[in-house]
Amino acid sequence: MVPNVALNPGLLAEAASKTVIITGGANGIGAATTRLYNTQGANIVVADLAPCRKAADELIRSLPNPPRAVFIPTDILDWAQMTNLFKEALRRFGSIDIVVANAGIMETSPVLDENAVDENGDLLESTEGFRVIDINLKGTLNTLRLALHYMRSSPEKSAGGSIVLVASTSGYFGGTGVAGYVASKHGVVGLLRSSQQAAHKANVRVNAIAPFVTPTYITASYVDKWREAGYVANTPEGVAAAIAQISLDTTRKGNSIMISGNIVREVEMTRAALMGSWLGEDLVELMAVSGKFFEELGGYPLPKKRAQDEDI
C-alpha cells in the first residue's frame, strides 16, 4: 500500500509574518485557507470577485488577526486587475511569499449535451465550457505567471517563493464526464509539470493540491447524498492544512498532494517512479534522452508564426 503523506502541524509556524495571496479566498477552501494562514500570523490578501466583498469582509472580521488581512476585488481573467493585485499586495505588506491559485468553477450545464440546439436544430456553441476553461486554466495561468514574476529571487535566498495550484482529482481522473471541469483541471496539472523549469530559474517552488469531494458550492447538490452513502468527504479545513503544509515544506518541488478524507497521497513523484512499468523502460528512456536534447538546445524551440496566424 502506498503510504499517506505525513502532515507536520509544527511546520505551520513558518507562516508567521509571510504574505499570502489567495485567489477565490472569500469562500469555501479559499476561506478556510485564509483563516489557517492568518491564525499562524501570516498577512493575507483575499482576492475574489467584487460581488464577494460582503463575504470577504465578514471573513476578515472573524479572523484572529483582522489587521493582517485585506480584500482586493479581482477578476483572475482581467490582466490589469491581476497586476494590480500583486502590486497592491507588495505595497500593503512589503513582500509576497506564498500564492495559492485556488479560484475555480464548474459548469452548470453539460458541456457535451447533444440536445443543446437552437430552433433550427443546430448545435449551440458551449459558452459554458469556454467559461470554465477560461477561469480554471487561463485564470490559473495568469496567477502562476504573475507569482513567478513578483516572487523571483536569487538562488542564494534560502527560502524562495512558493506557489500552490489547486487542481482536483479531476485533474487525474475523468470518469465523472464533467468535460469542461475535467479538461481544465487536467490543464492545471499540465501547468504544474511544465512550470518546473521556469520555477527553478526564479527560485520559486510550484506544487499542487488535488482534493476529492469537498463540501463547497461546487458539490452542494450532492455532498449530503455522498455522506449518506457512507463515503468520506474532505473538509475545507483539511484541504487548507494540506495547502499550507505543501506551501511551507521547502523540500517539495513539483509535487501534487491528492487528498480524500484520511487518504493523503503524493501523486506526481509516484507517477514518475512507476513510469517504466506503465509505459515501458524504452519509452521512458527515450523521453529522458529527448529532455536532455531540448535542454542542450536551450529549451524547446518554438515555431515561427505563419502568415495566416498574424491576426489571431
pLDDT digits (tens, 9 = 90+) for 283-301: 999 999 999 999 899 888 9
**Coil, strand or helix at 165:** strand
The three cell numbers locating residue 80: 490589469
pLDDT of residue 215: 85
C-beta separation of 263 from 4 below 8 A? yes
pLDDT of residue 204: 97
Give the residue carrying C-alpha cell 471573513: 59
C-beta separation of 231 from 263 below 8 A? no
Confidence of residue 95 (pLDDT cuts 50, 70, 90): very high
pLDDT tens for residues 137-164?
999 999 999 999 999 986 666 678 999 9
Tally of residues, the chain: 312
Report the C-alpha gap between 83 and 311 in whole angstroms: 26
The alpha carbons of the chain give a radius of gyration, in whole angstroms, of 20
Report the C-alpha gap between 44 and 69 in whole angstroms: 5
Which are the contacts of 131, defined by CB distance < 8 A and separation ≥ 6?
Answer: 105, 107, 180
Which are the contacts of 44, defined by CB distance < 8 A and separation ≥ 6?
Answer: 19, 20, 22, 25, 34, 37, 38, 63, 68, 69, 70
Alpha helices in the chain (DSSP H): 28-39, 53-62, 79-93, 127-133, 139-151, 179-194, 196-202, 223-228, 236-248, 268-273, 275-279, 281-296
First to last CA, the chain: 50
Sheet containing 204-211: order of strands: 69-73, 43-48, 19-23, 98-101, 161-166, 204-211, 256-260, 263-266
Mean of the per-residue pLDDT values of the chain: 93
172 is known as an active-site residue = no
- Cβ atoms within 10 Å of 14's Cβ, excluding its own: 17
C-beta separation of 111 from 176 below 8 A? no
> Where in the chain are the domains?
9-273, 276-312
Confidence of residue 308 (pLDDT cuts 50, 70, 90): confident
State residue 272 phi and psi, 5-degree precision: -65, -40
At how many degrees (to 10) do helices 139-151 and 79-93 cross?
40
Average of per-residue pLDDT across 173-185: 94
Active-site residue, from 181, 222, 231, 300: 181
The three cell numbers locating residue 7: 502532515
**Beta pairing partners, 208:** 165, 256
Q: Architecture of 9-273 per CATH?
A: 3-Layer(aba) Sandwich (3.40)
pLDDT of residue 312: 59
